[in-house]
A and B are shown apart, each in its own frame.
Chain A
């Protein structure tokens, strides 16, 4: 199975900060990488697929990059509604696997 490792596991940031989350795959997955946002008690929300393609309706402050084994999710200017947990997921091969999550908290 492909292991997905996210870092950091949590971070504290202020409104307006630029935030970057990293996701590493245990083997190459090309660009078969998705990012999700989850708020407490809610279902995950799809943000990005194919490593860098924003889902319809997702604001452009979110961006994704990377290919192969290393990927990043960047939030250009953190807003109150962005405080949540973020997960990466590889879909290159079954079983699809998620990273452990990154909790973005208010500083």
Chain B
């Protein structure tokens, strides 16, 4: 069974940092590209980052809203995806989902349950 479990969410002050983790199981993590998608309270979905697999040399893509502040990374030996979030702003408050791309440039097929990040003083 494919499972993705996010952790690391919480309350942080503006300008602060937080690192989200996504532990996966049930599939060969190293074969897949992985994304982070977020959803602000009461709002729609926003794609924010992709980590490509080893075959694609772990290259990354970012949305403009987070580029330069957030870093997506992965550890294939630990079956884990990460999102390092720096210089957080109040508008980064959201539920953050990690999700799996089945192949190539495909969109996500399996999603985690989400981790809530609140940026507030």
Identify the A interface with B (CB < 8 A). 1, 32, 34, 36, 38, 42-46, 49, 55, 87, 89, 91, 94-101
B56 to chain A, nearest CB (A): 13
Flag whether B55 is at the interface (Cβ < 8 A): no
30 residue pairs from A and B, CB less than 8 Å apart: A1-B64, A32-B105, A36-B45, A43-B97, A43-B99, A43-B112, A43-B113, A43-B114, A44-B111, A45-B111, A46-B107, A49-B106, A87-B45, A89-B45, A89-B47, A91-B105, A91-B106, A94-B50, A95-B47, A95-B61, A95-B62, A95-B63, A95-B64, A96-B47, A96-B50, A96-B107, A97-B47, A99-B44, A100-B44, A101-B44
Asked if B75 is at the interface of the complex by the 8 Å CB criterion, the answer is no
Q: Give every chain A residue within 8 A of B110 (Cβ-Cβ).
A: 46
CA distance A49 to B102 in the complex (A): 11
Across the interface, name the chain B residue whose C-beta is closest to A99. Answer: B44
Do A89 and B107 touch (CB < 8 A)? yes
Range for the number of chain B residues in contact with chain A:
20 to 34
Q: Closest residue to A98 on the B side, CB-wise?
A: B45
**Which residues in B have their C-beta under 8 angstroms from that of A49?**
106-107, 109
Note all chain A residues with C-beta closer than 8 A to B64. Answer: 1, 95
Docked pose: A17 CA to B111 CA in angstroms: 29
Pairwise interchain contact B108-A46, C-beta atoms closer than 8 A: yes
Q: Which residues of the other chain, B, contact A91 by a CB distance below 8 angstroms?
A: 105-107
| Residues 82-121 of chain B, each 1 if its beta carbon lies under 8 Å from chain A, else 0 | 0000000000000001010000011111111110000000
B44 A87 Cβ-Cβ under 8 A? yes
In the bound complex, residues from chain A placing their C-beta under 8 Å from that of B44 are: 87, 98-101
